[in-house]
């Protein structure tokens, strides 16, 4: 073989090494997933590199590429789509075209993206919102919110809360023909975190115009105290949300100090003030037996108290709904939690389900045995329509 052939072979081997990710056997369409994961990893590497060079923030590159995937608010034959503002927060509203028989359901949706990325206009959110409106004959409000690193906790939470409270006003619901007794709050990933947080806040807010009938939390992030649960250990490198990226997302949301990120990676970031709260995220007592196998429980190591003062979000239920006490949990509406086996966030979803049912909240848990984080945003994969169908079926029955 000539030198060129050797070079090609070497490149081929390197490319295969870069693309190939060992995946669990029961995962569907593994090669497609590997390719998606490769492009994501490439972005993470590029982002790290441009940030290292001081050219721009890690997320800028993601953001500018993602914006290419945004769709304008185009109405189609079934749904009227409008961009507007609720309480100054930009939202996209989907209203079915067919004549309503009665008042409609309302679905308030919060997109994911680590509190740093994404928008309601992204095709992976725009399309499911159309389908939701169409299938449930519902008015869907898909909200935006200001993002990290420019804006940090509690801005994201407050934007979503303000938009939701605006929607829940009597005159607004009337304007859209929405039945105030049939309103759902839903979100995926960071959006699931925000959905749980705003629903919790509503149940305790004397000024809340009304309360939703259900909440749907799709692979939500629910706590940032213990970064070493069994699912963190098992799925640290599984597509498409590696542990390092999740820790970065949390840190950008709550503080932005890179030293805290290092502490989080070693689970040494927890301020002493968190002591009394650790029982609420104690996976050794809250997880089903089958997830404990082979995992010794180690409580997070206390770091400095300065952290709690500088970044109070770590201990705030508006950022970490799993930290809510039982009294507050009892105020929550009927809940649907979707978790995926191959997701670092799996265990906090399980713990939330356990704590909700202990508190007497009606809860449906759909655990996807071959699922992974972010599957609902990847319409090119079959698992996406399966999970979307399950989520919508639940709403059809319960909303
Ligand atoms: C509108 O609804 C019909 C019937 O459900 C469906 O066949 C069609 O594809 C929908 N159109 C769009 C643009 O989604
Ligand atoms: C967590 O739960 C285990 C088992 O129930 C218990 O032994 C341990 O003390 C608990 N730790 C914390 C910090 O709550």
What is the Cα–Cα distance from 354 to 184, expressed in whole angstroms? 21
Cβ–Cβ contacts within 10 Å for residue 134, how many?
18
Which residue shows structure tokens 């007794």?
A: 181
Query: What pTM was computed for the model?
Result: 0.95
* Token output for 182: 């049939």
Ligand 2 site-directed mutation target among 225, 226, 282, most atoms within 8 Å of CB = 282
**What beta strand segments (E) does the chain contain?**
79-86, 89-96, 104-110, 138-143, 178-188, 214-218, 334-342, 363-372
Whole-number Å distance, alpha carbon 135 to ligand 1 midpoint, is: 10
Contacts of residue 213, Cβ cutoff 8 Å, sequence gap at least 6: 181, 182, 183, 184, 333, 334, 398, 399
- Residue 98 CB less than 6 A away from ligand 1: no
Ligand 1 site-directed mutation target among 76, 77, 79, most atoms within 8 Å of CB = 77
Whole-number Å distance, alpha carbon 302 to ligand 2 midpoint, is: 15
Q: Whose CA is closest to atom 1 on ligand 2?
A: 282
Question: Can you tell me which atom of ligand 2 is nearest the CA of 275?
Answer: 13
CB 149 within 8 A of CB 252: yes
Which residue shows structure tokens 């809510």?
A: 324
* Token output for 266: 């070693």
What is the Cα–Cα distance from 194 to 50, expressed in whole angstroms? 30
Read off the pLDDT of residues 276-328 as tens digits, 9 standing for 90 and up: 999 999 999 999 999 999 999 999 989 877 877 889 999 999 999 999 999 99
Whole-number Å distance, alpha carbon 285 to ligand 2 midpoint, is: 6
- Residue 97 CB less than 6 A away from ligand 1: no
Q: Enumerate domains of the chain plus CATH numbers.
A: 70-224+315-398 (3.40.50.1820)
* Token output for 18: 């870069």
Residues with CB under 6 A from ligand 2: 278-279, 282, 284-285, 297, 299
pLDDT in tens, the chain (399 residues): 688 888 888 888 888 777 777 888 899 998 899 888 888 888 888 888 888 898 888 888 888 888 889 999 999 999 999 999 999 999 999 999 999 889 999 999 999 999 999 999 999 999 999 999 999 999 999 999 999 999 999 999 999 999 999 999 999 999 999 999 999 999 999 999 999 999 999 999 998 989 999 999 999 999 999 999 999 999 999 988 999 999 999 999 999 888 899 999 999 999 888 999 999 999 999 999 999 999 999 999 898 778 778 899 999 999 999 999 999 999 999 999 999 999 999 999 999 999 999 999 999 999 999 999 999 999 999 999 999 999 999 999 999
Q: Whose CA is closest to atom 7 on ligand 1?
A: 78
Estimate the crossing angle of helix 382-398 against helix 123-136, to 10 degrees.
Answer: 40
Which residue shows structure tokens 């070079």?
A: 7
CB 216 within 8 A of CB 196: no
Read off the pLDDT of residues 199-234 as tens digits, 9 standing for 90 and up: 999 999 998 989 999 999 999 999 999 999 999 999
- Please give the pLDDT value at position 388: 97
Whole-number Å distance, alpha carbon 333 to ligand 2 midpoint, is: 29
């Amino acid at each position: 073989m000539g030198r060129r052939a050797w070079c090609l072979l070497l490149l081929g081997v390197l490319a295969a090494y870069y693309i190939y990710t060992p995946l669990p056997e029961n995962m569907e369409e593994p090669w497609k997933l590997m390719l998606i994961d490769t492009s994501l990893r490439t972005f993470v590497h590029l982002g790290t590199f441009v940030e290292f060079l001081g050219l721009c923030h890690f997320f800028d590159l993601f953001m500018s590429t993602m914006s290419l995937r945004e769709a304008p608010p185009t109405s189609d034959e079934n749904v009227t789509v409008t961009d507007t503002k609720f309480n100054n927060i930009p939202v996209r509203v989907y209203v079915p075209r067919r004549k309503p028989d009665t008042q409609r359901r309302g679905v308030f949706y919060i997109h994911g993206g680590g509190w740093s990325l994404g928008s309601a206009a992204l095709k992976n959110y725009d399309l499911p919102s159309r389908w939701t409106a169409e299938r449930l004959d519902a008015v869907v409000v898909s909200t935006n919110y200001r993002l990290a690193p420019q804006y940090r906790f509690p801005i994201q939470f407050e934007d979503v809360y303000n938009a939701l409270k605006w929607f829940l006003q009597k005159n607004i619901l009337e304007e859209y023909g929405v039945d105030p007794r049939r309103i759902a709050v839903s979100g995926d990933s960071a959006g699931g975190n925000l959905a749980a947080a705003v629903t919790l806040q509503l149940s305790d807010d004397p000024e809340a115009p009304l309360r939703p009938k259900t909440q749907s939390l799709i692979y939500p992030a629910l706590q940032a105290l213990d970064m070493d649960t069994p699912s963190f250990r098992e799925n640290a490198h599984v597509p498409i949300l590696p542990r390092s990226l999740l820790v970065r997302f949390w840190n950008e949301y709550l503080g932005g100090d890179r030293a805290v990120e290092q502490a989080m990676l070693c689970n040494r970031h927890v301020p002493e003030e968190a002591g009394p709260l650790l029982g609420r995220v104690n996976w050794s007592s809250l997880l089903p037996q089958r997830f404990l196998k082979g995992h010794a429980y180690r409580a997070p190591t206390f770091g400095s108290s300065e952290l709690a003062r500088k970044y109070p979000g770590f201990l705030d239920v508006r950022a970490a709904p799993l930290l809510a006490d039982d009294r507050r949990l009892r105020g929550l509406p009927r809940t649907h939690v979707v978790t995926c086996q191959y997701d670092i966030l799996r265990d906090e979803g399980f713990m939330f389900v356990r704590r909700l049912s202990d508190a007497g909240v009606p809860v449906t848990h759909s655990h996807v045995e071959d699922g992974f984080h972010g599957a609902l945003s990847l319409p090119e994969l079959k698992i996406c329509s399966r999970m979307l169908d399950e989520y919508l079926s639940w709403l059809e029955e319960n909303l």
